[in-house]
Structure 1
Amino acid sequence: MSTDWKTDFKTAVKQEEWYLRRVYPNANDIPSCTNHLDTYFACNTIRNLVKSMYRYGHLREDCSEKWAEYKFCLSLKWMGVNERRDAWIRRKAIWWAKRRLGKSSEDVWQVRDEPLQNFPRPLDPTEYLRERPHEFM
């Protein structure tokens, strides 16, 4: 991954906060503690455990992050509505910034400034019809 376009952590957190404030404009838009608890319980269902066994051959799902989100939500209960939203947005922005700047499956790709020359070759509809006239009858 080239470092010329990669931003630093503080900048990434600010960008994520800016975005999250627009996605969650009101305090009522952030998930409730009940939502976090439901997500935690859903993580521990037989369905997710079986899916993990099928996909990876072992129990891969770690629900501790979802439990931590629920506990964090409970810790915000004493705050005012807007303070709670700000704290939640800050935490999510840090999480997204770490994810964005960390390793990813996309790291194997090189970023191109320009598309490859003549790739893909533009299709000519008349040529396609001449080769396969029986498909359209």
Structure 2
Amino acid sequence: MGWWSRTTTTPPRAKEEPEHTSAAPKPPTRTRHTTTLTRDEQADLELQAILQELDAEHAAGPGAAAAAAAAAADTQPESLYPTSMSCRQAFDMAFYCQSLGGQFQNIYRYGGLRDCSESWRRFRFCMRAKSWPEPRRAAMVQEHYRQRAAVYKMGPSSEDVWEVRKHPVVGAFMEDPDVG
């Protein structure tokens, strides 16, 4: 019969919840006849804790909200880019770029073949970066990703080839494709 007919007779184990390491105060736990809370009870406690934090911020006044917004706006752009790079992923991307499927995808999206030299350049950069000391490697990888993001935002788009549809398609799947 195979594995389809097998059933387990052991009861499922409860999931172990990861410990929270944040500095936020933990909500008080209710004691019941069991030591674990159900998923709904835990969600209720977390919601109560969030509502208490929001009430405390609201009671502090608009000055505290402005300070929190300024702290959020002060996010360092360096933290937006990764500090490590996978050479295997870079190789796979370069190899796919040169494959028939990758080139066909580019013809469909952008209307022409793609020059894969940038993908191979990324792979060579990754291989060179492996020998650099850690602080220099992290800084150079971040700079690489920063430049790549700028090129991506300014590069070609599928809208360069395809026109944006102004009206929805009506009755596109109404007819049977086998009849006809």
Give the TM-score band, short-chain normalised. Answer: 0.3 to 0.5
Greater gyration radius: 2
- Greater relative contact order: 1 or 2 (C-alpha under 8 angstroms, separation 6 or more)? 1
What TM-score does the superposition give when structure 1 sets the normalisation length?
0.47
Q: Give the helix-richer structure, 1 or 2.
A: 1
What TM-score does the superposition give when structure 2 sets the normalisation length?
0.38
